[in-house]
């Protein structure tokens, strides 16, 4: 009876995680369609955005790399741009290292699934077990929907027009705000870091390429302080 109850509870919890992740998946699919369509209408063959989405799997870095290619830049410049914008995931990986697990294959796959959305969604959960399930459910779903969207957009080409005109790209920041609000309410130190990071990102946005303001926002962590040691605690 106890094992049956535990299984039922776990299945119900997984269904709730799928439900909560669905909005992020929907937004990812829309942006993926846009990326595939923009890449192909700009002159790239269908296989380029499709392969990039499978191997690189980094939305902002992919858009920036394709932008460099379509502007006449070489592959080396495109790769350098993508790497620069994707360096923020190094900090994200540290945050979820324990959540992903310890197996070599699991950590390799988990590292590929680390994104802004999967990390925020996982860390918003109340306990380590649910954090791990949230990471894998949201990460695998997001990967599948993103790649399906990119393939659909690449095959449809210019028939779709500019998907950004519908305003659906606003779903990503809206979901991220909803995920981080509980932490911001509970921790004043995190609020200070977030405010400084947001101010730096907003100030830099008009002057730097897309994606770089996110990297600059990491400087907000300079305001974070470790809790003071209790009196008499061992050094």
Tell me how many helices (H) and strands (E) the chain has: 11, 0
Asked if residue 143 has pLDDT above 90, the reply is yes
Global pTM value:
0.67
Within a 13 Å sphere around the CA of 162, how many CA atoms are in the beta-carbon half? 3
Gap between the Cα atoms of 122 and 141, Å rounded: 13
- In this predicted model, what pLDDT tens digit does every residue of 35-94 receive, in sequence order? 888 888 878 888 988 998 998 888 777 877 887 777 776 777 777 777 777 777 777 777
Asked whether the beta carbons of 143 and 24 are under 8 A apart, the reply is: no
pLDDT at 178 over 80: no
**Contact, 66 vs 39, CB < 8 A?**
yes
């Amino acid at each position: 009876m106890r094992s049956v109850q535990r299984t039922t509870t776990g299945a119900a919890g997984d269904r709730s995680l799928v439900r909560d992740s669905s909005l992020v998946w929907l937004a990812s699919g829309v942006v993926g369609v846009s990326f595939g369509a923009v890449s192909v209408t700009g002159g790239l063959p269908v296989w380029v955005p499709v392969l990039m989405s499978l191997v690189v799997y980094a939305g902002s870095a992919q858009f920036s790399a394709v932008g460099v290619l379509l502007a006449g830049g070489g592959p080396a410049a495109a790769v350098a741009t993508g790497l620069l914008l994707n360096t923020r995931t190094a900090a994200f990986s540290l945050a979820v290292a324990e959540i992903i697990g310890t197996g070599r294959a699991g950590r390799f796959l988990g590292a590929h699934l680390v994104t802004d959305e999967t990390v925020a969604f996982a860390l918003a959960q109340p306990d380590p077990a649910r954090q791990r399930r949230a990471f894998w459910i949201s990460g695998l779903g997001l990967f599948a929907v993103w790649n399906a969207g990119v393939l659909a957009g690449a095959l449809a080409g210019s028939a779709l027009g500019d998907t950004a005109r519908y305003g659906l790209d606003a779903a990503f920041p809206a979901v991220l705000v909803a995920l981080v609000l509980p932490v911001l309410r509970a921790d004043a130190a995190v609020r200070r870091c977030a405010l400084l990071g947001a101010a730096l990102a907003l100030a830099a946005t008009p002057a730097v390429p897309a994606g770089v303001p996110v990297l600059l926002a990491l400087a907000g962590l300079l305001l974070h302080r470790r809790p003071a040691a209790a009196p008499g605690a061992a050094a």
